[in-house]
Amino acid sequence: MDLLIDSLISAILLLKSLDAEVCAIVLVSLKVSSSSTLIASLIGIPAGFAIAFKEFRGKRMTITILNTLLALPTVVIGLFVYAFVSRRGIFGPLDLLYTQKAIVIGQVILIIPIVTTFTIAAISRIDERYRKSAMTLGATTLQTAGVVFREARFSIMAAVIASFGRVIAEVGISMMLGGNAKGFTRTMTTAMALEYDKGEFVLAVALGLILLTISFAVNLFFNYLQGRARA
């Protein structure tokens, strides 16, 4: 218990001093996670929207496969992407391995199923009357989709936030594809794992605190937006 309390006090002092190493790790984490969340959202939201909105053969199977992919372990994704970006892989010449780009690729694969399935659920829950109302008022298919999207916006935003939470907290992909290179690909989670291996808890606890604070701030902002919309 003393170890935890001592580590916590030291961690707070470290954060207060705005330690350069800590700041660099946090920035890399935020940059990588934001990029992968943005890319996954740009792919997953329209895909989820199209799957929910359109009737096509194999729709149920597609949703089942996406639901299955939610359980995909990060190490499997790490191995899969490694096979493509390692020197012997087909994307080997692009020199992506152990770069932030490689981490982003892996994380995008990790969260696309999350964004897509959450978007499908969000759109499917929207009352059919919104679509009919927009159509009877003369809206085009795109404008009708816009109305449905607007009504589902908070659920879709929740999908994006859940995805961000997933990538900022994952360690497998960052470690396998990023390599935990200091100042380049060291993220909060890979740094925490390293410090734990070294038996140095102070930095690990400090980073843990930052990670939780970031998650809390993001959710607080989301709740604020929801509250404003309902006011």
Tell me the helix, strand and coil percentages in the chain, rounded to 5. 80, 0, 20
The answer to whether 178 and 102 are in contact (CB under 8 A) is yes
User: Helices 59-69 and 100-125 sit at what angle, rounded to 10 degrees?
Assistant: 130
Q: Which of 15, 112, 134, 159 binds other proteins (CB under 8 A)?
A: 134
Which of the stretches 11-19, 20-28, 125-133, 167-175 binds other proteins when contact is defined by CB under 8 A? 125-133
Q: Which of 43, 50, 139, 209 binds other proteins (CB under 8 A)?
A: 139
- Joined tokens for residue 196: 């734990």
**Cβ closer to other proteins: 59 or 150?**
150
| Sign of the dihedral through C-alpha 205, 207, 208, 212 | positive
**130 scored as a contact of other proteins (CB under 8 A):** yes
Collapsing DSSP to helix, strand or coil, 99 comes out as coil
Show contacts with other proteins in window 212-231 (CB under 8 A): 229
Q: Which of 135, 169, 194, 202 binds other proteins (CB under 8 A)?
A: 135
Instruction: Using the structure block, give the residue that is written with the tokens 């594809």.
Output: 177
**Cβ closer to other proteins: 18 or 231?**
231
**140 scored as a contact of other proteins (CB under 8 A):** yes
**151 scored as a contact of other proteins (CB under 8 A):** yes
Of the candidates 202, 129, 211, the residue with the CA atom closest to the CA atom of residue 165: 211
**Cβ closer to other proteins: 67 or 133?**
133
Smallest gap from residue 60 Cβ to other proteins (A): 18
The alpha carbon of residue 173 and the mean position of all alpha carbons in its chain are separated, in whole angstroms, by 12
Which of the stretches 1-9, 122-130, 183-191, 220-228 binds other proteins when contact is defined by CB under 8 A? 122-130
Of the candidates 41, 67, 27, 3, the residue with the CA atom closest to the CA atom of residue 163: 41
* Binding residues for other proteins (CB under 8 A): 127, 129-130, 132-141, 143, 147, 150-151, 229
